[in-house]
Amino acid sequence: MPPVEELKEWRQLLLWNQFALDEITTKLKILNEECQHLDEGNPIEHIKSRVKSIESISKKLERKGIPFTARSAREHIHDMAGVRVICAFTSDIDKIFTMLSQQTDVKVKKIKDYVGKPKANGYRSFHIIVEIPIFLKGGMELMEVEIQLRTIAMDFWASLEHKIYYKFDKEVPDGLIDELTKTANIVNELDDRMLTINNRIKES
Ligand code: 0O2
């Protein structure tokens, strides 16, 4: 394909991913506001979103041994549109997942439950890949979005771990890895205790 045409495909793909992010973010905001209206509190503390950078897409395709084209990115990269939903309590994660997955235009394609089954380093987060429609001038397109659902405590740990990982250029000394895993356990305990407090408040 001529370079100009390929560039156009990339621009379109990134734009469509931004549209998908806009759609899913609106869905999440509506659910949060409705829960507030129904006096059920607000399950979402805040939402972050990003379209994966071209550099990051290129690295991921290279790792997978797939050619760097917009078409193969669309087919093989499932987190080009990414949303991180930060909740107060672990119970909010289930609540948001249930509400979202019940919507008729949301198809859950993949679930990675690192909350039920944390990674060896202690990483906890609930990841889903959903497919949603976006409506364009020429018709409808189905787009994938990766949604990471996690508590404030899980996010705190993951953000610091991510920084450390890059600081050491992915070669984190063993002692530090152990320390990080221990802190992940503390974070887990903190989430459990916060949930217990919240349940007690609700009961009273
Ligand atoms: P960025 O900058 O966050 O986008 P797959 O898509 O199935 O081929 P992948 O991408 O490894 O495989 O999927 P997975 O396991 O769902 O992880 C994707 C994202 O989860 C990562 O994105 C991180 O955001 C986060 N993540 C996964 N494991 C860890 C971890 O051990 N520590 C931290 N801090 N975050 C983690 P990217 O692609 O790395 O980058």
47-91 residue pLDDT tens: 999 999 999 999 999 999 999 999 999 999 999 999 999 999 999
Distance 193 CA to ligand 1 centre (A): 27
pTM of the model: 0.94
Percent of the chain clearing pLDDT 90 (strictly above): 85
77 DSSP assignment: -
Residue nearest to atom 7 of ligand 1 (CA): 78
Spell out the residues 6+ positions from residue 93 whose beta carbon is closer than 8 angstroms to its own: 87, 115, 126, 149, 150, 151
Question: Among the CATH numbers 3.30.460.10, 3.10.20.30, 3.30.465.10, 2.102.10.10, which is that of 3-152?
Answer: 3.30.460.10
Q: Is the CB of 81 under 6 A from ligand 1?
A: no
Residue whose Cα lies nearest atom 5 of ligand 1: it is 78
Pocket test for ligand 1, best of 48, 54, 61, 79 (most atoms within 8 A of CB): 79
Of 26-40, 42-56, 91-105, 157-171, where does mean pLDDT reach its minimum? 157-171
Helix axes 152-167, 174-203, angle to 10 degrees: 170
Evaluate whether ipTM surpasses 0.95.
no
The structural domains of the chain, with segments of one domain joined by +, span: 3-152
Q: Is 188 within 8 Å of 124 (Cβ atoms)? A: yes
Write the pLDDT tens digit of every residue in 109-145: 999 999 999 999 999 999 999 999 999 999 999 999 9
pLDDT confidence tier of residue 171, bands split at 50, 70 and 90: confident
